[in-house]
């Protein structure tokens, strides 16, 4: 296989894995293996730039942290469309169009994606800027974040690409990814997002593009703007931009009359729930740009386009009872059990209630008749009570005070929305959930083990703690007695468990399932503390000195290590051979200009990322500290440095140097 064929094959494979992860939420390889393939592609691209794909997966890495978004005025205002909810309004719109331009025209029908509007500017085929809709006349520059979206090309390919143009579209999140991410937030006791649109909008406005990259976003493009007339029709423009590398929806229709438009609307009214993402209507546009120009605009919207909005699917049913689920972190979530009812093509028996505050807001009583909606919500949601149907003696729903499984009194911390069960070592769903989390792809990524297997092992008394996984090889006879668990399965599982001992400290730390310690926090803690013993004895001050570690996380870590059961488990895992220390990579020194000096990097910088500055310091003999203390020699200060770091550095008289001053010290 030639070098180019190797590179093309890697691009195709990585794109498929990205699709599996982002769209299907069903990854087929682990993070480590994906990163290894990505690194292999990056090396080949560096060695053979002539074969590099401009839209390679290696380009979707994200840029600098953005503390505040720059406001950019739109060259062409991003107008909203007029909305309608009924057929007669559409026929009236059609009549107005006919009076203005006659009968010789076509419509283009497009899905109305329920996401966040975005405008992309391309200069000489390269993505130059991405701006949100904002108020329609100006929006926020979110270029670094948008560059992480795998379906947005950084560099275009094809013929007829203008030197400068804008293309507009919608950023959204697929339902499977939304459910997965929301479940993770719920288990961590964090506020969940109501729907994929809100999740997508919140993600686009995050400050760190590397964090944005971890949240799977997608984008459909559908409208080109340029000083020159590039195409005669909208339909023609869609075909062209697709050939340039843009992600354009296949679900569009060229309609010859309003009846064909209504047929398209009727089709998607029933089929929209089969899509992997949300739509809330259909957009109808006059196809010819010349005819669009003739029709013109009102003050707020074009006269040549209109959107038909579907009503959120809503039904009435009876609330039979409220039950409670316990997650792996102990968070207790209420669920409404409903009299089965058909909603949006599926039978609904349950609806989310989120938390105690939601039950209070709805004012729910036992056996209430409720309205249930499935619009932008993935999981059906109770939207209101039919008060006319309430019994005079109806009893209000009272949130439980003890765990529904182990009956331990529930706790609720100040400022949090979730109640949780503190009995993490004795509550069955927490025990099972913790072990399932530990073996997961983002943690220890143990091949041959799945959630159902862990459930079975727990019920049979084979595992009660994470550490029990590492003595399963001693229980071969009990494993063989499990139905449909043959010798090959056992062999693969034991090999997967043995291989997991090589996983780095940050993965082990995330796998422990400490409350509020997600994947990113685990990485920062591992880099900051280096060893589990150092983390276990760290003070609140030590922990909060680590970048982005707040008081809530620090207190949770101290609570975790205060429990004797947790410390015993870690000792057993140490004895099993797991990694509880950061494996430092040997740095090849470029010079000894900074030898013996200690540094801390804070803020954002113009010429280098923080990781690049860290590497530069270490390559020239310097040492990076995790927080501000009397041991620190220099604080490398960029823009938007945190006020607490600035105050502490000033108090300790620590010299603050700029990016330029650091480079001068080296040279």
By annotation, the residues acting in catalysis are 112
* Residue 9 CA, distance from chain mean position: 27
Token couple for 269: 């009214």
3-state secondary structure of 253: strand
Instruction: Go through 90-123 and write b for each residue having 16 or more CB atoms within 10 A of its CB, e for each that does not.
Output: beebbeebeeebeeebbbbbbbbbbbbbbbbbbe
Token couple for 206: 């995050």
3-state secondary structure of 221: strand
> Rounded to whole angstroms, how far apart are CA atoms 185 and 15?
27
Q: Which residues pair with 402 in a beta bridge?
A: 409
CA atoms within 13 A on the CB side of 334: 25
H or E segment to which residue 601 belongs: strand 598-602
319 touches 341 (CB < 8 A): no
DSSP state of 288: B
> Rounded to whole angstroms, how far apart are CA atoms 255 and 449?
52
3-state secondary structure of 363: coil
Measured in degrees and rounded to the nearest 5, phi and psi for residue 506 equal -60, -35
Exposed, middle or buried by CB within 10 Å (0-12, 13-18, 19+), for 450? middle
DSSP state of 584: P
Please name which of 111, 76, 105, 136 lies closest in space to residue 289, comparing C-alpha atoms. Answer: 105
Measured in degrees and rounded to the nearest 5, phi and psi for residue 472 equal -65, -25
> Rounded to whole angstroms, how far apart are CA atoms 5 and 41?
12
Q: Which residues pair with 168 in a beta bridge?
A: 119, 223
> Rounded to whole angstroms, how far apart are CA atoms 178 and 197?
9
Token couple for 443: 């943690």
> Rounded to whole angstroms, how far apart are CA atoms 23 and 175?
8
Measured in degrees and rounded to the nearest 5, phi and psi for residue 163 equal -65, -35
Exposed, middle or buried by CB within 10 Å (0-12, 13-18, 19+), for 369? middle
354 touches 192 (CB < 8 A): yes
* Residue 167 CA, distance from chain mean position: 24
Exposed, middle or buried by CB within 10 Å (0-12, 13-18, 19+), for 260? middle
3-state secondary structure of 153: coil
Which residues are CB-contacts of 191 (< 8 A; sequence separation ≥ 6)? 185, 417
Alpha helices, H only, 444-499? 451-459, 476-480, 487-499
> Rounded to whole angstroms, how far apart are CA atoms 520 and 532?
17
> Rounded to whole angstroms, how far apart are CA atoms 435 and 280?
39
CA end-to-end span of the chain, whole Å?
Answer: 44
């Amino acid at each position: 296989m030639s070098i180019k064929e190797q590179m093309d094959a890697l691009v195709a494979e990585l794109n498929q894995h990205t699709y599996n992860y982002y769209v299907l939420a069903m990854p087929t390889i682990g993070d480590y293996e994906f990163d290894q393939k990505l690194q292999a592609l990056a090396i080949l691209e560096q060695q053979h730039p002539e074969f590099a794909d401009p839209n390679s997966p290696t380009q979707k890495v994200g840029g600098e942290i953005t503390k505040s978004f720059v406001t950019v005025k739109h060259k062409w205002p991003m107008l909203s469309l007029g909305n309608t909810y009924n057929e007669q309004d559409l026929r009236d719109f059609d009549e107005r169009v006919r009076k203005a331009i006659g009968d010789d025209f076509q419509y283009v029908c497009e899905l109305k994606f329920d996401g966040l509007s975005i405008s992309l500017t391309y200069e000489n085929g390269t993505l130059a800027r991405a701006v949100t809709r904002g108020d329609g006349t100006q929006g926020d520059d979110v270029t670094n974040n948008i560059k992480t979206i795998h379906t947005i090309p950084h560099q275009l390919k094809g013929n007829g690409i203008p030197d400068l143009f804008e293309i507009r579209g919608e950023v959204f999140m697929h339902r499977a990814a939304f459910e997965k991410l929301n479940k993770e937030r719920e288990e961590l006791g964090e506020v969940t997002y109501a729907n994929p649109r809100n999740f997508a909008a919140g993600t686009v406005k995050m400050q760190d593009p590397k964090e944005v990259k971890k949240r799977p976003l997608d984008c459909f493009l559908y409208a080109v703007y340029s000083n020159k007339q590039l195409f005669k029709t909208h339909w023609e423009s869609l075909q062209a931009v697709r050939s340039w590398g843009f992600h354009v929806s296949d679900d569009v229709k060229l309609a010859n009359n309003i009846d064909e438009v209504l047929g398209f609307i009727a089709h998607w009214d029933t089929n929209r729930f089969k899509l992997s993402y949300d739509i809330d209507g259909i957009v109808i546009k006059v196809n010819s740009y010349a005819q669009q120009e003739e029709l013109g605009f009102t003050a707020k919207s074009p006269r040549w386009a209109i959107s038909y909005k579907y009503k959120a699917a809503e039904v009435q049913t009876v609330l039979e009872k409220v039950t409670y689920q316990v997650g792996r972190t102990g968070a207790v979530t209420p669920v409404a059990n409903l009299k089965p009812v058909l909603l949006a093509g599926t039978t609904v028996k349950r609806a989310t209630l989120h938390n105690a505050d939601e039950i209070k807001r709805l004012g729910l009583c036992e056996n209430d008749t409720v309205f249930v909606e499935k619009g932008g919500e993935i999981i059906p949601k109770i939207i209101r009570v039919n008060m006319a149907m309430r019994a005079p003696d109806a009893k209000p729903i009272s949130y439980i005070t003890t765990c529904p499984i182990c009956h331990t009194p529930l706790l609720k911390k100040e400022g949090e929305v979730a109640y949780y069960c503190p009995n993490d070592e004795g509550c069955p769903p927490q025990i099972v959930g913790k072990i399932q989390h530990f073996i997961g792809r983002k943690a220890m990524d143990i091949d041959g083990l799945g959630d159902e297997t862990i459930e079975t092992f727990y019920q049979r008394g084979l595992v009660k703690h994470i550490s029990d996984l590492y003595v399963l090889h001693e229980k071969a006879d009990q494993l063989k007695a499990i139905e449909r668990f043959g010798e090959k399965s056992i062999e693969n599982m034991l090999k997967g468990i043995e291989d997991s001992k090589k996983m780095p400290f940050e993965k082990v730390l995330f796998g422990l399932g400490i409350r509020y310690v997600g994947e990113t926090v685990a990485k920062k803690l591992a880099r900051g503390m280096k060893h589990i013993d150092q983390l276990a004895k760290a003070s609140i001050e030590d922990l909060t000195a680590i970048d982005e570690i707040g008081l809530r996380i620090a207190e949770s870590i101290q609570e975790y290590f205060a429990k004797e059961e947790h410390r015993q488990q870690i000792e057993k895992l140490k004895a099993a051979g797991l990694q509880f220390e950061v494996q430092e990579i040997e740095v090849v020194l470029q010079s000894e200009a900074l030898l013996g000096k200690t540094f801390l990097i804070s803020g954002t910088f113009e010429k280098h990322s923080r990781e690049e500055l860290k590497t530069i310091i270490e390559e020239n003999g310097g040492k990076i500290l995790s927080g501000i203390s009397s041991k620190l020699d220099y604080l490398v200060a960029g823009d938007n440095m945190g006020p607490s770091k600035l105050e502490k550095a000033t108090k300790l008289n620590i010299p603050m140097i700029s990016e330029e001053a650091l480079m001068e010290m080296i040279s």
